[in-house]
Amino acid sequence: MNSSLSGLHFPYIKRFTILLALTLVTPGVGAQPYIPSGANTVVETLPESIIALSRKLRSEAPAHSTVGTERRATESLSEVELVAIQQQALAAYRVAAETGEPRAYGHTLALLERWPEGRPRPALIHVLSAAVLQHNHEFPEALAELISALAIEPNSAQAHLMRAQISLVTADYDTARESCLALRTLIRYPLAMNCQAQLDGVTGRAEQALAQVNDMLQRKGELSPQDHLELNITAAGIAHRLGRVADAERHYVAALQVSPASGYTLVNYAALLIENRRFDDVVSLLDSLDEGAMSTEMQILLAEALSARQDMHSRDRAQALTLAIQESFDAAVARGEGLPTKEFSRFALTLQQRPAEALAAALKNWALQKEPSDTLLLAQAARSAGDVEQLTEILRWAQLHGTQDVRLSTLLSAALADANADQGGA
C-alpha cells in the first residue's frame, strides 16, 4: 500500500487518499439504495463459480450444521466427522481450483480450520492447507505444510508436485530439481518430464527443454488432455522467452484449445500479442471472456491494448477499465490487505506512467516470486525509473541462473548501454 502512494507529495495527502479510498468503497457515496420495479426483476445473474459453491454447501449441509458456527467441542469429533471434513475440504478446493472463486478458497480454509487442534493432521489436510497458502502467495508457509505432508507420506506425488511448482516460482532451483527427480517414479512420464523441462527452461537449457517437450508432444496417442495442456504451456513459455513468436503462439493456442479458461495461458498469450503490437488480437482474445472470468492481470492487458488503439471508443473503454482496476486496488486497501504487487506494478508502469511506484511494487513482488515474467517486469520498471544499480543486479542474477529471455537481455543491454553512454558523456 505504501508503495502505491509513496510518490505523493505530502504525508497528509497519503492519509487523505486512504480515507478517500475507504470512502469510495464504502457505500453511501455515489451508490444509492433502490427497490426494483417488480418481483421478476433479475437482481443478479450468479456466476458459475457461486452456483457450484452454493450447490456444494447445500450438499454438505448436515455436516456443515454439526461442525458449523455452533460446533461441538472439537475434541469430541468422531472419526467419521474427521473424514467428512477432509472430503468437504477437498470438494471445496476442487471448486476453488476449477473456478478461481475466492469465496471457494475462503470456504476451503474455513473447513480446514475446523480440524481439531489436538488431533494429528493427515497428509491431505497439510496438502490442502498448502494449496490455499500457495494461492495466497504465502510460499514459505505452503512449503512448510508440504514438508509436513511428505513426512507423513514421503511418496505423495501431489506434495512433490506442489513443492516443485512453488520452488520454480521462488527460483529455489535446487529444491525444484529434487522434487522433479522424486516425481519420476511417482507420476506418469509425460508430466514428470514436463517438471524437468520447466526447470531446464529457466536454468540455461531452454533449447534442449523445448526440443524434448516438442518430441513428447509428437506422441499424441500416449498423451492425456492434461498432458497436452501442461506440455503446451511449458513449450509456449520457453519459445516465448527464446523469441520464437510463431512457435509460442502455436503452443498457447493449443493449450487454450484444451483449457479455454486457463488464466495463466491467457495472460501470457495476451502479453505475447502486446509485445508484438497486435492490439486488435488482444482485444478479441480477452473480450471473448465473461466479465467475471477476467483476472486483474487480464484487465490490465486489455486496457493496455485498448489504449494503444486510436479510436475514441477504445480509449474510453481503456479509461473505464483503468478506473475499475484502480477501484479493485482501493477495495483491497480498504479490506486491510496489501495490494497484489505484480498486478499493481504493471498497472503503475503501463497505465499510469508512475515508474517509481511500479519499481517499488515490482521489487516487493520479486522478493516473493521470481518467474521470468516477474524478472522482466522488474527490469522494465527499473529501466523506466532509471535505476541502473537495479538493472545491474538483475543482469548479475540472470547470468548466475542462466536465464534465457530475449526480451530481458535486449532490455538490459540497451538500458545499460544507455547508462554507460550517459556516464561517458558526463
Residues numbered 71-110 forming contacts with other proteins, rule: CB under 8 A: 90, 93-94, 96-103, 105-107, 109-110
Closest contact distance (angstroms) between CB of 418 and other proteins is 27
Residue in 40, 185, 310, 353 binding other proteins, rule: CB under 8 A: 40
201-260: which residues touch other proteins (CB under 8 A)?
226, 229-230, 233, 259
- Find how far residue 39's CA is from the centre of its chain: 40
Amino acid at 22: L
Closest contact distance (angstroms) between CB of 77 and other proteins is 15
Burial zone of 377 (CB within 10 Å; 0-12 exposed, 13-18 middle, 19+ buried): buried
In the chain the first and final C-alpha atoms are separated, in Å, by: 37
- Residue 33 binds to other proteins (criterion: CB under 8 A): yes
Distances (CA, A) of 54 to 47, 103, 104, 404: 11, 10, 10, 45
Segment lying near other proteins (by CB under 8 A), choices 131-139, 245-253, 312-320, 403-411: 131-139
Residue in 74, 175, 214, 262 binding other proteins, rule: CB under 8 A: 262
- Residue 15 binds to other proteins (criterion: CB under 8 A): yes
Cβ distance 339 to 4 under 8 Å? yes
Residue in 1, 5, 18, 363 binding other proteins, rule: CB under 8 A: 18
Over the Cα atoms of the chain, what is R_g?
24
Closest contact distance (angstroms) between CB of 421 and other proteins is 30
Question: Cβ closer to other proteins: 29 or 421?
Answer: 29
Helix axes 79-99, 123-135, angle to 10 degrees: 30
Residue in 7, 116, 292, 386 binding other proteins, rule: CB under 8 A: 292
Segment lying near other proteins (by CB under 8 A), choices 156-164, 211-219, 240-248, 416-424: 156-164
Closest contact distance (angstroms) between CB of 124 and other proteins is 9
Residue in 335, 400, 424, 426 binding other proteins, rule: CB under 8 A: 335
Segment lying near other proteins (by CB under 8 A), choices 44-52, 239-247, 273-281, 313-321: 44-52
Question: Cβ closer to other proteins: 11 or 425?
Answer: 11
CA 279-284-288 angle, to 5 degrees, is: 145
Instruction: Give the SS3 label for residue 386.
Output: coil
Closest contact distance (angstroms) between CB of 337 and other proteins is 8
Q: At 280, list the grid cell.
A: 486488435
- Residue 45 binds to other proteins (criterion: CB under 8 A): yes
Segment lying near other proteins (by CB under 8 A), choices 157-165, 241-249, 312-320, 352-360: 157-165
Cβ distance 247 to 225 under 8 Å? no
Question: Cβ closer to other proteins: 101 or 405?
Answer: 101
- Helix or strand holding residue 263 (H, E): helix 263-275
405-424: which residues touch other proteins (CB under 8 A)?
none
Give the Cα separation of 148 and 157 in Å (integer). Answer: 14
Question: Cβ closer to other proteins: 158 or 390?
Answer: 158
- Residue 305 binds to other proteins (criterion: CB under 8 A): no
Give the Cα separation of 245 and 236 in Å (integer). Answer: 9
Q: How many residues does the chain have?
A: 426
Task: Give the dihedral sign, CA 152/370/94/66.
Answer: positive
Closest contact distance (angstroms) between CB of 286 and other proteins is 11
Give the Cα separation of 117 and 119 in Å (integer). Answer: 6
- Residue 371 binds to other proteins (criterion: CB under 8 A): yes
- Residue 299 binds to other proteins (criterion: CB under 8 A): yes
- Residue 191 binds to other proteins (criterion: CB under 8 A): yes
Q: At 366, list the grid cell.
A: 520479486
- Residue 51 binds to other proteins (criterion: CB under 8 A): yes
Question: Cβ closer to other proteins: 47 or 418?
Answer: 47
Contacts of 265 (CB under 8 A, 6+ apart): 233, 236, 252, 255, 256, 259
